[in-house]
Amino acid sequence: MSAGATAGEDGLRRCPWGLAPAEYAAYHDTEWGRPVHGDDALFERLCLEAFQSGLSWLTILRKRPAFRTAFADFSVKAVAGFGAADEARLLADAGIVRNRLKIAATLANARTLADWAPGELDTLIWSYAPEQSRPAPRTLADVPAVTGESTALAKELKRRGLRFVGPTTAYALMQACGLVNDHLADCHAR
């Protein structure tokens, strides 16, 4: 049976993944599951979730400052203007994940999003927040990897030209940005 929330060294009960190392605990306590709004902020989370695919989230958290520097703080407008020299710079940047397909998708996604109206990404993503909340998960086994809403969101993002946005990535985005609350029932952050 999967573990429920567990007390950390500070006595606070957390989702087991948020106990350690310190980067996980800070992210768990202050960011994950908290509502995120704004096109650039959501673009950052979408990009980081895509870069995480196949890797540890800890790797992404540790590289996030370098990602922010490399991708102009994830300004959609700035990244949309990146050209071949920027792509080469990104591929040579050891501070980020140097995956050619993920970098190309990030640049292409920014170019697509640059043509959207201000607030359109925010409105679109939040339109897929579940209307009814499900019971609070008691254990990690109760937390899905994909939902009907995440599948529909991924399909719509792909239909609109975005890449590296499958249902699992879309659900991770929904969790990270507070569209769903997957903190365990007895987690202090819930």
Residues with a catalytic annotation lie at: 27, 49, 57
- 102 Cβ neighbours under 8 A, 6+ residues apart: 50, 51, 53, 164
Query: In angstroms, rounded to a whole number, what is the distance separating the alpha carbons of residues 113 and 69?
Result: 20
Distance between CA atoms of residues 38 and 4, nearest Å: 32
User: What are the phi and psi torsion angles at 180 (to 5°)?
Assistant: -130, 155
160's tokens: 């609109």
Q: Please, which residues have CB within 8 angstroms of residue 12's CB and are 6 or more apart in sequence?
A: 29, 188
User: For the stretch 89-117, what's the b/e string if a residue is b when 16 or more beta carbons lie within 10 angstroms of its beta carbon?
Assistant: ebeebeebbebeebbebbbebbebbeebe
